[in-house]
Each structure stands twice: as structure tokens, then as C-alpha cells.
């Protein structure tokens, strides 16, 4: 994929040196800084299909996919065409537009638990708003989240969070008031008894927020029956169940994880794919519940750019394409083969790994223990992951620069691209097994 005569580091290194003087850590989102794997981040100039090209002209097969939304691949021709037309009509109105109604109809049609939806601008905004809604309608204060799950950088949610917090090995973030953090309770993922015990100890729980398939400590699926237990416990104790489907929505199935596992939450948060790669978020639930949001009800939430015509355009093109169930069948087959053959390559090289996968989300953990929660994920050998990451990068494969992030396959990842990835993985595993 790459041209050996090109020095792929010079321009990225120069830009990073400039960036660290201007941006905290040289980046606008922590994981991008490569702190979890070492080295200098690559600055991306363009992306198309299943690949990205950096400022030094080196092209990579991409499994980050802008952290999930590029399910159709980068720069999909139809998305670009519709966006180009939308640009000529204006970028933001600060007033209602027809596209908002159309994308709401698409979401309501697809997601089992949603009858009404509010558009916002990010996943963080969606989860913050969902929690406010839950507290507002229940009159309760406390929130339960799960160790290693990341739901954005809202104050209530940076307690034992995953994603970049886990990657950088940070404690719970300074700047979060102790009194506020005290209202966030944490339990291990996949441990129904720990959740039941928390309910026994705290009668004032407003909501439980969960990634039904965790993506922010790497891909960690729920154990059989676990989500059903979570649903039963929240219903029994009068707490609302929030599914954070910012990553899984329209990714693991058209109706998200709640369709895949046949569990209906009270509130669902969405993001990533519903903007087709542009900044977006949403939260929704039953009409009765959502009617509590202003101006229909007393719980206030607003956003000048919410429902902006560019994000709505890209999202509509994407969601309408995802009506085709055969796309999910292709994604399932491609990702299953990739995961299976990467595992085989690791075994052949004598490198201990465990690969978790749900649909087109996957993570290879450098451990020999089954990964079911944050405790088991944290046992992964981050140093070996860093070596593997750079070995793959040198061969033109771009993985997440962190052991604790999910990878994603798009419809643009052809059989030939999967073959090249597996061949790169064999060489990478062999190179690190000799170190």
C-alpha cells in the first residue's frame, strides 16, 4: 500500500511539533496523541473507501473509521454528492428544516425503543441530556455506570471511564466536583449480582447507563442473559435504563444492540453513523417520556446547531442505505473472517491474544484470558499491543492507537483488503514474537 521511498514521518513529525505548542498534547482528542502506543501520530490528509492517506503520502487500510461512523467507507460517492448539493443551500439555519423530520422518521423506523427523538451535536451531549431527562422524570439523583464504559466527558460520567481515560491511565478526572461524582455509582460490566447489590444499597437511583456492547475498553460483548437481567433490575426498582448506542447504533444491526439482543431500554443515545461522519448525536425514547423535553415539557435542553442540514444530509444517505439488510450480512462475514484469521496468525506465531467481536466491531486483546469486563481487559499487555500497532502501521494498516478501543469494518473493506490485512498481521505477529 505504501511507497518505500517516501519518508512517512517527516511532515507528520513537523506538524506534531507545531501542534504541541498550540493544542493540549498536540491533539483535539486524547487518544489521537499515540500515548497508548508510543511514537508520533500520523496526520491524515485524505480518506477514501477503506483507506486513509497521511500528509507524507503513505496510505493505510483503516480500521478506526473515525471511531465507527464510516460504515460505508470514507468519502462515499452518494454521501459526497448529496453533501455538495446541501452546501449550496446553506450550512446552518438555526430554524427547523425538512431533513430533521426525515431523519427522525428513519431513526424511529429502525430503533425498537424510540418513538420520538431529539437531535444534538455529539455523543457526549446525547448522554448528558439523557441523564438529565432520567433525573427529571424520576425525581432521583444517583446514576449507575459500569467500570471501563465511556459515555462522553460529562462530569457525571468521568468516573472509572474507559476509552482515552483508560488508555492514558488517568484517575477520575480533576475538575469533577466530589459531590457530583458521589452521585455516580459504578459496578463491573457483566456482573448482574453486583448491580442487584447496588440497587439494594441505594433506593434513589434515577438511571443505569450502559454500553450494551462495550466499545470503549475494546469490544466486550454482554454475557448471555446479562442485558435481560439489567432490564429486569431497572424495571423492578423504578430506575430508567439508558442504552448508550452511540457506537453500536446502526453498527451491530440496523436497530442497534437492542435489536440484536431483543432488549428495549427506556432511553437510547445515538451518534456516529446517524451523521454519516459529521458531528451529530441524538437521544430518544417513548413519546410519553420524550414529551418531558422542552418546549413540550419542563426539562430544558437546546442547541443552535442541532439538526443542522449538513449532518442531517449525510446521515440520511447513510441510514437509507442501511435499510439493505444484505449489507449487515456482508459486514458480518468479512469481520468474522478477519477476526478468525488474525487469531490463527497469532496462534501460529505463539503470541497470546483473545479477539472479541460483535457484528463489524472487534478488538484483539493481548492476553490469554477471556475478556468480559474492565478487570480482565486491563490485564492485556499494552506494551506488546504497541509493538503490534507499529508493526501493522509500518505495513500500511491503521488500527486504533490504544488497546482499549474497538476496531471497525466497513462495506468498503473488500475480500482483497481483508486478505492484505491478514497477511500484514502474520508478519506483524512474527516480528513481535522474536523480540
Tell me whether residue 272 is one of the annotated catalytic residues: yes
> Out of 60, 150, 261, 283, which one is annotated catalytic?
150
Residue 45 is a catalytic residue: no
Distance from C-alpha of 234 to C-alpha of 214, rounded to nearest angstrom: 19
Nearest to 387 by CA among 370, 375, 399: 399
Burial of 13 (0-12, 13-18, 19+ CB in 10 A): middle
> Which residue is it, cell 471501563?
148
Catalytic residue among 60, 272, 373, 387: 272
The percent helix, strand, coil of the chain (3-state, each to 5) is: 40, 15, 40
**Alpha helices, H only, 123-245:** 123-138, 163-168, 178-181, 192-201, 226-236
Strands 205-210 and 116-120: unpaired
Helix (H) or strand (E) holding 268: strand 267-270
Beta bridge mates, 208: 144, 241
Report which DSSP code applies to 220: B
**Per the residue annotation, which of 54, 76, 191, 244 is the catalytic one?**
244
Using the CB atoms, write b or e for 80-108: b if 16+ within 10 Å: eebbeebeeeeeeeeeebebbebbbebbe
* Alpha helix segments (H runs only) across 307-414: 309-321, 325-349, 374-377, 382-394
d(CA 348, CA 370): 19
- Strands of 407-408's sheet in order across: 354-358, 361-365, 407-408
- From the number of C-beta atoms within 10 Å of its C-beta (0-12, 13-18, 19+), residue 5 rates as exposed
Tell me, what DSSP letter sits at residue 42? P
Q: Which residues are catalytic?
A: 150, 244, 272
Amino acid at each position: 500500500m505504501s511507497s518505500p521511498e517516501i519518508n512517512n514521518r517527516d511532515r507528520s513529525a513537523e506538524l506534531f511539533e507545531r501542534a504541541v505548542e498550540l493544542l493540549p498534547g498536540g491533539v483535539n482528542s486524547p487518544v489521537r496523541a499515540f500515548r497508548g502506543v508510543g511514537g508520533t501520530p500520523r496526520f491524515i490528509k485524505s480518506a477514501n473507501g477503506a483507506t486513509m492517506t497521511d500528509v507524507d503520502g503513505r496510505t493505510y487500510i483503516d480500521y478506526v473509521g473515525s471511531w465507527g461512523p464510516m460504515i460505508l467507507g470514507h468519502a462515499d460517492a452518494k454521501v459526497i454528492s448529496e453533501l455538495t448539493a446541501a452546501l449550496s443551500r446553506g450550512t446552518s439555519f438555526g430554524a427547523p428544516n425538512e431533513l430533521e423530520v426525515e431523519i427522525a422518521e428513519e431513526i424511529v423506523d429502525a430503533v425498537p425503543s424510540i418513538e420520538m427523538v431529539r437531535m444534538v451535536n455529539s455523543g457526549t451531549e446525547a448522554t448528558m441530556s439523557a441523564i438529565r431527562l432520567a433525573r427529571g422524570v424520576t425525581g432521583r439523583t444517583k446514576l449507575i455506570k459500569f467500570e471501563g464504559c465511556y459515555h462522553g466527558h460529562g462530569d457525571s460520567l468521568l468516573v472509572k471511564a474507559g476509552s482515552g481515560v483508560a488508555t492514558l491511565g488517568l484517575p477520575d478526572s480533576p475538575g469533577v466536583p466530589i459531590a457530583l461524582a458521589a452521585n455516580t455509582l459504578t459496578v463491573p460490566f457483566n456482573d448482574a449480582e453486583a448491580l442487584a447489590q447496588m440497587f439494594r444499597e441505594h433506593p434513589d437511583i434515577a438511571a443505569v447507563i450502559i454500553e450494551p456492547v462495550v466499545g470503549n475498553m475494546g469490544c466486550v460483548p454482554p454475557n448471555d442473559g446479562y442485558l435481560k437481567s439489567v432490564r429486569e433490575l431497572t424495571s423492578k426498582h423504578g430506575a430508567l435504563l439508558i442504552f448508550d448506542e452511540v457506537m453500536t447504533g446502526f453498527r451491530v444491526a440496523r436497530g442497534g444492540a437492542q435489536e440484536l439482543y431483543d432488549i428495549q431500554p427506556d432511553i437510547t443515545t445515538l451518534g456516529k453513523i446517524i451523521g454519516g461522519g459529521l458531528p451529530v448525536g441524538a437521544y430518544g425514547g417513548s413519546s410519553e417520556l420524550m414529551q418531558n423535553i422542552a418546549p413540550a415539557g419542563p426539562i430544558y435542553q437546546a442547541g443552535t446547531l442541532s439538526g443542522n442540514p449538513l449532518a442531517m444530509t449525510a446521515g440520511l444517505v447513510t441510514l437509507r442505505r442501511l435499510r439493505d439488510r444484505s449489507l449487515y450480512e456482508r459486514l458480518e462475514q468479512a469481520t468474522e473472517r478477519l477476526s478468525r484469521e488474525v487469531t490463527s496468525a497469532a496462534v501460529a506465531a505463539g503470541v497470546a491474544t483473545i479477539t472479541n467481536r460483535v457484528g463489524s466491531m472487534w478488538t484483539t486483546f493481548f492476553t490469554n484470558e477471556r475478556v468480559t469486563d474492565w478487570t480482565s481487559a486491563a490485564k492485556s499487555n499494552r506494551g506488546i499491543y504497541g509493538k503490534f500497532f507499529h508493526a501493522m502501521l509500518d505495513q500500511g494498516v491503521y488500527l486504533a492507537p490504544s488497546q482499549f478501543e474497538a476496531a471497525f469494518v466497513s462495506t468498503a473493506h473488500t475480500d482483497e483488503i481483508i486478505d492484505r490485512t491478514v497477511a500484514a498481521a502474520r508478519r506483524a505477529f512474527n516480528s513481535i514474537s522474536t523480540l
